A and B are shown apart, each in its own frame.
Chain A
Amino acid sequence: EVQLVESGGGLVQPGGSLRLSCAASGFTFSSYWMHWVRQAPGKGLVWVSRINSDGSSTSYADSVKGRFTISRDNAKNTLYLQMNSLRAEDTAVYYCARDLGGLVVVILDYWGQGTLVTVSS
């Protein structure tokens, strides 16, 4: 059974940093592209970042470019999101999701349950 379990969320002050993790199991993690998607309270889904299967290629939404870094450790079956210079508008539930498609198609077929990040003083 495919499982994605996020962790690392919490309360952080504006300007602070946080690292999210997503532990994957039930599939060959190293074969899949992975994504982070966020959802502010009461709002819709917003794509944040993606990484290819071996970690050599990444892309980001303009709103987080230069502040967030996506990475992965295929030996540990874990996806990461390093978030720096956090702002109030980064407050959201952060989901990791598996990409069934890969290079030319983006199909997010499995999602974790999410971890809440709150940026507030």
Chain B
Amino acid sequence: NFMLTQPHSVSESPGKTVTISCTRSSGSIASNYVQWYQQRPGSAPTTVIYEDNQRPSGVPDRFSGSIDSSSNSASLTISGLKTEDEADYYCQSYDSSNVVFGGGTKLTVL
């Protein structure tokens, strides 16, 4: 089984850009799609990025995803930060027998 490692927390000011990383421990990051979920306090997760870089309808284009094979990691970038973006963010991927979540990153917009 592989693991996905995220920073525990990040913070940035409104209007700025922040990037959250998600590093895969073994196997290629490119071998299975990466998804990103946003979870606000007291709420269920919602999908903000799927298939590495696709946005569901209704998710603003301030949210973008990418993968980098050289660092074996995925990234979620949020530009033009708003206070409403303050939440926990989880990356997720899978292999033939397991579904794996990263440990989550708490984004503070201050």
- A residues touching B (Cβ–Cβ < 8 Å)? 35, 37, 44-47, 50, 59, 61, 95, 100-101, 105-109, 111-114
Contacts and interface: CB of A to CB of B under 8 A. Distances in A.
Interface of B: 32-33, 35, 37, 39, 43-47, 50-51, 56, 88, 90, 92-94, 97-104
Given A44-B103, A111-B45, A106 B92 contact: yes
A101 B94 CA distance: 11
Given A95-B45, A111-B45, A111-B46, A44 B104 contact: yes
Contact of A47 (B44, B51, B88, B101): B101
Contacts of B97: 59
A114 B103 CA distance: 19
11 contacts: A37-B101, A44-B88, A44-B90, A44-B103, A45-B92, A105-B51, A106-B94, A108-B47, A112-B44, A113-B43, A113-B44
Contacts of B50: 100, 107, 109
Contacts of B47: 107-109
